[in-house]
Amino acid sequence: MTDAVLKYGDQELPLEVLDVTDGDRGLDISPLRSSLGLVTMDRGFGNTAESRSDVSYIDGEQGILRYRGYPIEQLAEQASFLEVAYLLQYGELPTASELDAYAQRITYHTMLREDMKNMFEAFPHRAHPMSILASATSALATYYPDALDPLDPESVDISARRLIAKTPTMIAWSYKYAVHQPYVYPDNDLDYSANFLKMMFSVPAEVYEPDPVVVKALNMLLILHADHGQNCSASAVRLVGSGHANIFSSIAAGIAALSGPLHGGANQAVLEMLSAIYESGDDIDTVIKRAKDKEDPFRLMGFGHRVYKNFDPRARIIKTAAEEVLEALGVDDPLLDLAMQLEEIALEDEYFVDRKLYPNVDFYSGIIYRAMGFPTDMFTVLFALGRLPGWIAQWRELAADPGARIFRPRQLYTGPAVRDMTPIDNR
Ligand code: ACO
């Protein structure tokens, strides 16, 4: 291992360089403050690794994403969502019998406590599904107070399974309440995606058969969203968990973080942007011009990424899937054509080329969700459903790490220097 040396004035501080399996090596700056009285400044943590992690690997320059070493393309093509959830939780792909047992241990928990219905009914009918999901997830801690100890592996395991099992039911029930339809109970004979679709879209008056095209596409979309390193929401989950908050509160924090339009909320924002462009009849050049204008707050939603500077491998898969799914469902959506034209023009534009701005995971996902029948304001809860196993794996990794410390960044104080308080009558 090669050390680095930091020179500051006439002092020299050797710093350890930390090895990795793949990607950037790390410089351990922990002695910096105690030795030199310096802290580091890194806005948006663009250059900071808080932890070592084994969960997922991203190479933004090459457009690579792997979960536990497996390329995302292979998992999206061949795996089921629960298989990926198992992989993220336990580090290895399950055998057929392990997967079967895991699926049974999940489906056992798909029901919600009946009195949770009162909670959904306390919200306005038009409440945003992300706000309801964050609240309902946090509320789960009140129903299972005996399994909240973050340092007890058995409690963590059952809470993780409850979360994965109950989140589809919570999302579907918040939707049913919003559209004034009766709640649909889980059907444990169906697989994860099919059961979710049934709870969302079936009504007691009619027989419901989930469309296999939709089930397959949803399974793939959930897999593509399942983890993504130390992004904003995963970091929120870990940060809250670092204080030994329970897993439900920590995941609720992740959902809150994901809701913002710069993060998971971008999938809703993309669809709203495409609809607004379509309805206004603006030509694409005008839209691109606005996105480049620094005086205009408008950004091309679904474009750009902190890490991907070549292409987002998830966006590539979703773009192809969007075309296939819409064709299979017989949906002709002018917003898909509009998105493709926008992408084509942006990718040739000097502004986007220079800044390495490419379509991200959110650019095409909303078009598939819309074709499946999901309302626009539900797109981000679908992202949350997919990301759940990743958040849990990240939280568990930190909880099991003997070197973990409570997250407590430093600051560079730039406020007023010390001054005496003037009594209120003299101010
Ligand atoms: N449209 C127009 N210009 C953009 C865009 C965009 N979508 N994204 C970045 N830029 C420009 C910035 O104005 C900046 O230009 P400058 O160097 O001339 O000042 C440059 O590109 C770098 O952008 P930053 O905001 O510094 O990049 P950062 O890594 O901090 O932000 C982010 C990444 C938030 C994703 C940004 O690209 C963005 O706002 N995109 C639109 C929202 C979006 O799609 N979010 C989803 C991301 S994926 C996810 O979280 C699931």
Structural element, H or E, at residue 8: strand 4-8
Q: Ligand 1: which residue has its CA nearest to atom 50?
A: 263
Q: Choose the residue to mutate in 355, 360, 362, 383 for probing ligand 1, maximizing ligand atoms within 8 Å of C-beta.
A: 355
Q: Quick check: 33 and 410 in contact, CB under 8 A?
A: yes
Per-residue confidence (pLDDT) for residue 376, from 0 to 100: 95
SS3 196: helix
In sequence order, which residues have a C-beta less than 8 Å from that of residue 163 and are 6 or more positions away? 137, 140, 247, 248, 251, 388, 392
401-411 pLDDT, tens per residue?
999 999 999 99
Helices (H) and strands (E) in the chain, counts: 18, 7
The pocket around ligand 1, CB under 6 angstroms, is made up of 44, 262-264, 266, 291, 299-306, 355, 357, 360-362
CB distance 65 to 314 below 8 Å: yes
For the chain, give the number of residues: 427
Which residue out of 221, 357, 382 has the highest number of ligand 1 atoms within 8 Å of its CB and is therefore the one to mutate? 357
8 Å CB contact between 394 and 227? yes
The enclosing H or E element of 14 equals strand 11-15
Q: Which residues are catalytic?
A: 305, 362
Which amino acid, one-letter code, is at 352? F
Q: What is the pTM of this model?
A: 0.95
- Which residue's C-alpha comes closest to atom 24 of ligand 1? 306
Ligand 1: which atom is nearest the Cα of residue 264? 51
pLDDT tens digits along 45-78: 999 999 999 999 999 999 999 999 999 999 999 9
Nearest CA to ligand 1 atom 15: 355
Closest atom of ligand 1 to 228 CA is: 51
Q: Which residues pair with 8 in a beta bridge?
A: 11
d(CA 302, ligand 1 centre) in Å: 9
CB within 8 A of 30, min separation 6: which ones? none
**Alpha-carbon span 114 to 87, nearest angstrom:** 31
CA of 31 to the centre of ligand 1 (A): 33
Ligand 1: atom nearest CA of 299 is 1
How far, in Å, is the centroid of ligand 1 from the Cα of 306?
7
347 alpha carbon to ligand 1 midpoint, in Å? 15
Q: Is 97 exposed, middle or buried (0-12, 13-18, 19+ CB in 10 A)?
A: exposed
Q: Which candidate, 236, 254, 204, 280, places its Cα nearest to that of 385?
A: 254
Q: Which of 308, 263, 265 is nearest to 65 (CA)?
A: 308
Residue to mutate (ligand 1; options 305, 362, 387; most atoms within 8 A of CB): 305
- Whole-angstrom Cα distance, residue 293 to residue 301? 14
Tens place of pLDDT per residue across the chain (427 aa): 568 999 999 999 999 999 999 999 999 999 999 999 999 999 999 999 999 999 999 999 999 999 999 999 999 999 999 999 999 999 999 999 999 999 999 999 999 999 999 999 999 999 999 999 999 999 999 999 999 999 999 999 999 999 999 999 999 999 999 999 999 999 999 999 999 999 999 999 999 999 999 999 999 999 999 999 999 999 999 999 999 999 999 999 999 999 999 999 999 999 999 999 999 988 899 999 999 999 999 999 999 999 999 899 999 999 999 999 999 999 999 999 999 999 999 999 999 999 999 999 999 999 999 999 999 999 999 999 999 999 999 999 999 999 999 999 999 999 999 999 999 999 9
